[in-house]
Amino acid sequence: MSVKNEADFAVPGPNSEMQERIRYAISCAGGDKAVNDRSGVKVRSLQSYKTGTTPSAIALGEIAKATGFRLEWLTYGEGPMRPDEPPAQQQNHTQTQLADIRERVKAIENGVGSANGLEPGFVMIPRYDVEASAGPGMFSDQENVVDYMAFQRKWVRQALRADPDHLVLITAAGDSMEPVIRSGDLLLIDTSIDHFRDDAIYVIAMAGNLVVKRIQRFFTGGVSVKSDNPAYVEQTIGAGELDQVHVAGRVRWIGRLI
């Protein structure tokens, strides 16, 4: 069942505690992708519900059905977590039990435990079916998650110095960034970076196109948009024109077949 356009029907209740219950239910059900497959609720929406956004009543109902947790428990923390709990367990979940849920969720997220068959210490990064052009720009509106790739959480945090929750994978297209980036390469993007911090390779949306370019900043406030392939002409964007450029993220890793 689609839950698009249902955001008007907000669910009441203590938001911080409800998001912890939602995080726990989704973790136990196999993670965002598994719940998305069973419920139709978008992965991005599931991620936002786990970090504080209040879901609609319809979305929460779909999550309850997909995870096997009771809607009343997800919404208010009342009664048993699951419909099939023994009578002895059918009681309101107290602050102590909520603290236990926090610890179990934390263990899963820190790689100590596993709720979806993933080896401890790994994190799943979503890959979107959007191509970032490394040549003449192209843009896809179908930005849906098509699959996931596992990365070591420790490597992500220490080597990339990135938060796994803000990483996505997309595919490069074109030849303007060769030899560094080739068409078909997987690009790991840090979407928490939404402006030009350093001279680096970024994914930017410009004139309706999503492109991968090397950016060099000027003291004047403008930037140089470069391609590693010398066949492509360097472009300059003045400080007064930067509001027309949207920074989608910074490229942190490149993967390819040999």
Domain ranges of the chain: 15-109, 122-255
pLDDT at 5: 43
CA angle 218, 223, 228 (to 5 degrees): 110
Q: What pTM was computed for the model?
A: 0.56
Residue type, 75: T
Confidence of residue 112 (pLDDT cuts 50, 70, 90): very low
Mean pLDDT of 62-73: 89
pLDDT at 118: 54
pLDDT at 234: 93
Q: What is the CA radius of gyration of the chain?
A: 21
For residue 100, report the phi and psi dihedrals to the nearest 5 degrees. -65, -40
pLDDT at 48: 82
State the number of CA atoms in the 13 A half-sphere of 159 facing the CB. 9
Mean pLDDT of 58-83: 86
- 136 CB neighbour count, 10 Å cutoff: 12
Distance CA 3, CA 45 (A): 10
Closest CA to 64 of 97, 22, 5: 22
Which residues make beta-bridge pairs with 56? 10
Four-CA torsion 139, 145, 150, 152, nearest 10 degrees? 70
- The domain 122-255 having CATH identifier 2.10.109.10: the answer here is yes
| Element spanning 72, H or E | helix 71-76
- 218 CB neighbour count, 10 Å cutoff: 12
Distance CA 252, CA 256 (A): 14
State the number of CA atoms in the 13 A half-sphere of 83 facing the CB. 6
- Evaluate if residue 21 carries a pLDDT over 70: yes
